[in-house]
Structure 1
Amino acid sequence: MTGTYAYYKQLFKDVPKPFAFVDLDMLDANIKAIAKEAGRKKVRVASKSVRCPEVLRRILAADDVYQGIMCYTASEAAFLVRQGFDDLLLGYPQWHAEALLEVFSLLREGKTITCMVDCMEHLDQIEGLAAEMQVVVPLCIDIDMSTDFPGLHFGVYRSPLTRWEQVRPLAERIAMAKWLRLAGIMGYEAQIAGVGDQVPGHAAWFFYR
């Protein structure tokens, strides 16, 4: 049957490995299905999962519901800008000054790149470099969406920010800073997003301490 593992295994049995292949019909069907489910909401494409610039272009051009990219590192953001992309969100906090300065130089050129933060040390590092470059840096605060039960941590240890009392000082610090701007807050529910539906033989997945 077309689209099954057995079908592709037979189809490519004589092709030297490794190689890459994309079934464009199935990709387009997925693009349309996600756009339909999104309704009036915008969808940011994660480049961590889609590693091909041409596929990223195809997704973003397919429907207005797709807006921007959540990328992996500052260096990857710079690479994607050179590939013609814009409206980039760094999915994880970045620290290395050289990579951050490259991103900030792109901000000065008018590109839209938002950095992720989850502690005061990140703000200190970014604010100092932003002042050096004389550029306002948009920031997104990463909060932890895991749930703690007695003896069980349901989720991942993504961010140290788990309560509003921890988030508020960062938000206030950003609001008062000359070279920082709060662009958003992200809560990533990895305990849901990272688990497939109705996995055979597994009623539930848990992350234990």
Structure 2
Amino acid sequence: MADVVSFNIVSASYVGTAVNASQYPESDLTEIAFIGRSNVGKSSLINSLCRRHGLARTSGTPGKTQTINFFKLSGKLPDESRLDFMLVDLPGYGYAKRAQTARATWSKFIEEYWLKSTKLRLVCQLIDVRHPPMESDIKVYQWLLEHGLTVQVVATKGDKITKGRVQQHVQAISKGINMPLLAPDDRIITYSTVSGAGRDELLDVIRNILLK
């Protein structure tokens, strides 16, 4: 993996919540979206990334969050210059107890954002490193690629397995989602909200997107 370039979040603030395109905030900032199965640890990862406890609300009820939440972030480069962007927190998918009609509404709701946002440059798809990808993980990943979106897979809960088993689990994710051969396994970032492992790598990916 390439050397990590210093880039750190220095401010993060809530901007707004949307349930349809008319409610998206008016902004020219590049958008970086985060999505994953319900209970994958998305809110905890966002809080860890921003080093702001409680910025994204965590819930013990999988599938509870049903809105798109926008946060304005500012990151500082080594030369003290700033890069501002919008972090977009998307609702979790794949919760088994959710009614079929609710899942269909979610699908339409999220696809509308993915297809209509003109500022979206990266989707970070979170997958629990402890388990092989589920059908919903695979479908979301393939849909994103088919629609030309740039995807960064992040294997969450890296502290829940031993270091010696991480690469084996990462390879299982890569194989399970049928990651293209041009995207080697080391493009999957393993993240631990406990130790902070993977944070610098993910921030480096975001930085490179913002500088394009």
TM-score by length of 2: 0.37
Structure with greater Cα Rg? 1
Which of the two has greater helix per residue? 1
TM-score by length of 1: 0.37
